[in-house]
Homo-oligomer: A and B are copies of this chain.
Amino acid sequence: MTVGLSIHDLLTPVAVIDETVMETNISVAQEYFDRIGRNFRPHIKTHKIPALASQQVAAGAKGINCQKVSEAEVFADAGFTDILITFNMLGKTRLEQLKALHARVNLQVVADNKVVVDGLADTFSENQPLKVLVECDTGAGRNGVQTPDAALELSQQIDRCAGLTFHGLLTYPKPGSEAAVEAFFSETIKLLDQSGLQCAVVSHAGSPSLYDSDLVSSATEHRAGTYIFNDRSMVRAGMCDFDDCAMHVLATVVSRPTETRAVLDAGSKALTSDLLGFSDHGLIVEYPDASIAGLSEEHAVVDLSKTDRKPEVGERIRIIPNHTCVVSNMFDKLVFHRDGVVTRIEHVAARGQVV
């Protein structure tokens, strides 16, 4: 993998990123948030590469969003100073790591329960209090307090801790649920207001309904990851076209056992098994009517029964993955190109940082 090579000469499978498309994706999203007057905080999980976060910040993003302390450490080492970690943190070792990180960057974290707040309160002191956002479950069914009353109660607990600063509210929403998010946020803000607590930040999120973020009028910032590369799920969500997908997994047809079956050299170790509601494992650009029906670790089995043109053994194809974020995590390096010529190779620096 060398700068200046054609991507057609790379060994497959390989994940390649179109620089031009990515640059457009970065600027279109940033322009939207500039236009609606909202801070934008990209989630680095999609690329895990400091150089790309630098492009997002240069375009106007306010800091970054990480999911784990270990990821945040990679980005702090790379010079990022405004970091939000959106994961409940527990345990003495991890909290000590968090404290060390807090000493060197402007850090915000989340909590959705008393045990997490207690752990944070025991770790941080009033000399340098930690900013904590209350995570609200506005319908996605993952983490989060369930009601505005519960959000108020946890906010008050945080506010009572000398080492913590109540900093606001946060949600990871169900896509398309802007009305429910706004109802939850505005009701909670009213309750907080009545009890004398102010939200410095009200953080909404998600790529799948990114351009409806203005419907959540109480939000002060938006977090999103996928939009930088886009993927098949983003096209389905109506957020972009296939031409706006910057990531392709290049694969080679290694077998044509039957008239209606092709086998590719990109399996779950490249594409992952994430279906995201699709019934197959990605879109083959050159054969959109073919279906990646099954994956094993190194093989993709493609059903050709609905496509008249059929690829031959040795032919190279491009796959738009269902979910781009998880693909980045499978590769040590991502290859960038402009018009098919390799421009740079970036180490996926925060790949595999799970703790």
Contacts and interface: CB of A to CB of B under 8 A. Distances in A.
A62 interface: no
Interface string A183-198: 0000000000000000
A354 B331 contact: yes
Given A252-B91, A273-B273, A355-B12, A142 B313 contact: no
A69 to B, nearest CB: 9
A241 interface: no
A275 interface: yes
Main SS of the interface on chain A?
A: loop
A27 interface: no
Interface stretch (A28-36, A173-181, A293-301): A293-301
A315 B134 CA distance: 21
Nearest to A9: B93
Given A45-B297, A298-B87, A355-B11, A257 B67 contact: no
24 contacts: A11-B91, A12-B355, A14-B354, A14-B355, A68-B298, A87-B254, A88-B255, A88-B263, A88-B265, A90-B313, A112-B255, A115-B313, A115-B314, A116-B254, A141-B294, A141-B301, A142-B296, A142-B299, A142-B301, A143-B254, A144-B257, A268-B274, A298-B354, A332-B352
Given A11-B93, A143-B299, 14 more contacts: A11-B94, A68-B298, A88-B263, A91-B252, A112-B257, A113-B256, A113-B257, A115-B312, A137-B257, A144-B255, A146-B258, A268-B326, A273-B274, A330-B354
